Amino acid sequence: MSAPRRRLPVVDQGIGSLRSDGSRIDLQQADVSGRYHTARKAVFVLLMAVYLVLPWVQVKGHPAVFLDLAARSFYLFGQTFNAQDVWLMFFLLTGVGFSLVVLTTLLGRVWCGWACPQTVYLDGIFRPIERLIGGNREARLRRAAGPWSVDRVVRGGLTHGLYLLVAFLLAHVFVSYFVSLPALYAMMRAAPAAHPEVFVFTFVATGLLYFNFAHFREQLCLVVCPYGRLQAALTDDDSMVVGYDALRGEPRGKVARGAEAETEKKGDCVDCRRCVVVCPTGIDIRNGLQLDCIGCTACIDACDEVMDKLHRPRGLIRYDSLRGLEGKPRKVLRPRLALYAALGLAGLIALTLALRTSEPFEANLIRLRGAPFTLEEGAVRNAFTLHIVNKRNERVRYRITAETPRGVSAVIPLAEVSLDPLGTLNAPVFLSTPRAGFVHDFEVPIHIRGLENTDQRTVRAPFLGPSQGAP
């Protein structure tokens, strides 16, 4: 009989920011400093800079990342996509999704703690504003528990005014990923009635961002985001997580002195609760790995600070695997990791191949509605529409020619056309052949060539006529 599988010590003992009656605890996070705090701040600045700058960076004449809603086009670092390319999203999502799964299996909730926009803006902008105006945790708690005073009203008003201003700016940056910067600037100077949809969207986005960052905060991670719930399934005993070394820390208790120290053997945890008061979700990491832990590392820095003061080694709370925290060696390569990596890689490779082989323009031939052919003046006639989409970022001239077999004539009224970037055109194509010479159906190649480049496509027009013996 095989030994029973050891259960993951995931503790879901209720949300640390809610009381047992379901009411919200207004968490006031204590300040923390340390190596992870410094590193995270640097990462936040970098990510915020990328977010703010991307709409301004031009690649091949368009913003680096731009979903042009008006033109139904998407520009991504010089690549242009239109509605027909939506299928590529499948490979993009598969590749990115499984890459995140691999990251989680290897490094736990590193995305949540270091790169999720919720964390980046909350810890990078909104909490610093709160601290700057409201003071440290003790001052904020004291003020919140006290009566409404001028000081409380002024500080509260200033804090929320700045929250609103930042939310307003972030909403506008967000909109600039969908509306070009010159258009957005023009809209900002015009009356709301001139662009009601964008105005309402920006207004609502500002309100949602303000509500989220000023009030909802950690609840978004705890009760809205599905990724947080997924992590319990994605991590295992070998994933790196923020964890407490219970072997070293327990039995916890105040630092024993004199005779007490001789008789009572204590662990390294002095039960100061610094790790709890710095936690943005209000949990106690000493209870084990919890779904509410977003991996922000604040408790690591807080505990390291305490250990430094006590001249004890750092790392009572640290990045480690559950196996490592139990003093066992960690396995990095595991079957599930190989499977997730293979799936992610397959998606990214498929996306790369699809992008490399994608055509610089599209050409589709559609038969005109109605009868498949007509008989007029002793000739069989077929009529088509050639639909062309220029997917290049520059204007292109195309020439359309028909490679007609002997006895077949073609009329192409728009034989030479010029299309703007992502411009489309429907060019009529008429083919005819004498009724007497028509024996069976055949195909006529239609060539489309770019005049200033090497772009070229051939579509085949299926020429239909009456079956043999028909009048």
d(CA 243, CA 315): 9
* Near ligand SF4 in 276-305, by CB under 6 A: 278-281, 283, 285-286, 293-299, 302-303
Provide the minimum distance between the beta carbon of 274 and ligand SF4 in the complex, in angstroms, as a whole number.
4
Reduce the DSSP state of residue 270 to 3 states and report it: coil
Decide: is 15 part of the binding site for ligand SF4 (CB under 6 A). Answer: no
Torsion of CA 308, 313, 314, 315, to 10 degrees: -150
Interface characters, 25-64, with ligand SF4 (x: CB under 6 A)? ----------------------------------------
Nearest-CA neighbor of 427 among 442, 439, 411? 411
Decide: is 317 part of the binding site for ligand SF4 (CB under 6 A). Answer: yes
Q: What does R_g of the chain's alpha carbons equal in angstroms?
A: 32
**Buried b vs exposed e over 395-431: b needs ≥16 C-beta within 10 Å?**
ebebebebebeeebebebeeeebebebbbebebebeb
The Cα-based distances of 281 to 24, 68, 274 in angstroms read: 11, 38, 14
Nearest-CA neighbor of 98 among 354, 338, 356? 338
Cβ(297)–Cβ(285) below 8 Å:
no
Using the minimum distance from each CB to ligand SF4, give the nearer residue, 310 or 451: 310
Provide the minimum distance between the beta carbon of 12 and ligand SF4 in the complex, in angstroms, as a whole number.
14
Interface characters, 190-229, with ligand SF4 (x: CB under 6 A)? ----------------------------------------
Using the minimum distance from each CB to ligand SF4, give the nearer residue, 218 or 238: 218
Provide the minimum distance between the beta carbon of 325 and ligand SF4 in the complex, in angstroms, as a whole number.
13
Among 275, 289, 351, 431, binds ligand SF4 (CB under 6 A): 275
* Cα angle: 10, vertex 13, 17; to 5 degrees: 115
* Near ligand SF4 in 237-256, by CB under 6 A: 242, 244, 249
Angle between helices 150-175 and 181-189 (to 10 degrees): 130
Select the span of 128-136, 266-274, 417-425, 434-442 touching ligand SF4 (CB under 6 A).
266-274
Decide: is 316 part of the binding site for ligand SF4 (CB under 6 A). Answer: yes
Q: Which residues bind ligand SF4 (CB under 6 A)?
A: 242, 244, 249, 269-275, 278-281, 283, 285-286, 293-299, 302-303, 306, 316-317
